[in-house]
Structure formats: C-alpha cells, structure tokens
Amino acid sequence: MDSTAVIVASLQAACDDVGLPVPTEERAQHIIGLGLYDAMAYVLPGIDVAVYPRVVERYGHHFRLRESQAPLFGGAEQMLRELNDAGHNLAIATGKSRRGLDRALDKTGLAPLFHATRCGEESAPKPQPAMLFDLMRMLGAQPARTLMIGDTTHDLQMAINAGVDSVGIAYGAHPRDQLMALHPLTCIDRPQDLRQWLKHNA
C-alpha cells in the first residue's frame, strides 16, 4: 500500500497533539516498520517513555482518519494473485498492530492471498529476524527459498539477520541509496517493475 505519506502525517499530527516537537518528514519516514519503542526513541529522543502511549493513541486516531488515502500501488493486487496462482506462499512481516493489519487486509480484500502474517507485537520487532523465522517455521520454508521484499532499511536488515535474500523497493519509505547499501538482489523503482522482476526470478 502507498501509505508512507499517511504514516508521516499521522505521526506529525500525534506529536503536535501531545505538545511534542513535530518530526521532519525524513525523520518520520525513517521509523516506518520499527517496533513501538525503537520508533519512539528515534523520533522523540530524550522524551520520557511514559509519554509514548499517549503519542501512540493519537497516532492511531489520526491514522484511522487518513487510512482511506493509502491505496494499493498500481498492479499490486494482480501481482499478488499471479504469485498465489503460481503456487508461491505469500506472507507479511509488519510493524503494524494485528488490529491494524487485519483492518487493512479486510479493506483491500487481500486476506485470502496470504498464507501467514506476523505483526509487531507478536515477535521481536524489525530489524531483528524473529518475524521472518516465525513465518518460515509456519510455512515450512527454508531460508534459501525465502525472499523478503521491503521498502525500508529495517526490512532489508531483518532479511540479512535471518539469512534470506531481499529485494528493495525504492518507491516506498526509504531512499534507494540506503536500501542499496544493504545489498538486496535488486532495487525496484516502479511498482510495475517489481511484477516483471518476480515473473522472471521468483
């Protein structure tokens, strides 16, 4: 989903509500995918952890107001259906809450296409490898047959930590140069290019 702008705006609004320094767009984008405490510590350095729940509550409020503004990337649904029809096991490793992920899957109608999902509160957060280990165990997948596709350095570092290959997505949260520094198999610049790459390599 094309959700980066929605996440950034929601986090900035949440900080403003609580009377905390409003992070820049670049700083807010960096925390996408991280676990709650790692994200808050990065975006609000030096702030008492007792304030975190209030920021999270306001973030959730603003995100729910805006989430309809986060559409699927063009061709994403067709690509997922093609991969599913070809016999690939599709999984999600996300920093989202279980409630947030279920809401997104319900809204898009994509839940039947995924064979397993793991959320931020169910495993150690990115970039630790626990979510990928859990998913591989759930699906009976070997590291050599697992591919992590992600738009953040946290995703690609998690893949490294789990010993699996990765593909970087440069049209999401983190810039291409930061993704390439983590040596993915490739770095994709447009949604349609991901579909073509997977057709030839998955």
CATH number assigned to the domain comprising residue 154: 3.40.50.1000
pTM value is 0.91
The answer to whether 129 touches 150, Cβ cutoff 8 Å, is no
Check residue 117 and give its pLDDT: 98
Check residue 85 and give its pLDDT: 95
Check residue 202 and give its pLDDT: 85
3-state secondary structure of 95: coil
Q: How many domains does the chain have?
A: 2
Asked whether residue 93 falls in the same domain as residue 24, the answer is: no
Alpha carbons 119 and 99: distance in angstroms, whole number: 9
Asked whether residue 42 falls in the same domain as residue 109, the answer is: no
Out of 69, 85, 106, pick the residue that ends a domain.
Answer: 69
Asked whether residue 123 falls in the same domain as residue 175, the answer is: yes
Nearest to 56 by CA among 100, 118, 24, 1: 100
CA 22 → CA 56, 108, 195, distances in Å?
14, 31, 37
pLDDT (tens, 9 = 90+) of the chain, 202 residues, equals 999 999 999 999 999 999 999 999 999 999 998 887 888 899 999 999 999 999 999 999 999 999 888 899 999 999 999 999 999 999 999 998 899 899 999 999 999 999 999 998 899 999 999 999 999 999 999 999 999 999 999 999 999 999 999 999 999 999 999 999 999 999 999 999 999 999 999 8
Helix (H) or strand (E) holding 69: none
The answer to whether 134 touches 166, Cβ cutoff 8 Å, is no
Asked whether residue 91 falls in the same domain as residue 178, the answer is: yes
Asked whether residue 193 falls in the same domain as residue 140, the answer is: yes
Asked whether residue 135 falls in the same domain as residue 193, the answer is: yes
Q: Is 107 exposed, middle or buried (0-12, 13-18, 19+ CB in 10 A)?
A: middle
In which domain, by residue range, is 20 found? 4-69
Asked whether residue 62 falls in the same domain as residue 93, the answer is: no
Q: How many CB atoms lie within 10 A of CB 199?
A: 12
Alpha carbons 75 and 60: distance in angstroms, whole number: 28
Asked whether residue 94 falls in the same domain as residue 134, the answer is: yes
Check residue 148 and give its pLDDT: 98
Asked whether residue 84 falls in the same domain as residue 116, the answer is: yes
Alpha carbons 51 and 163: distance in angstroms, whole number: 36
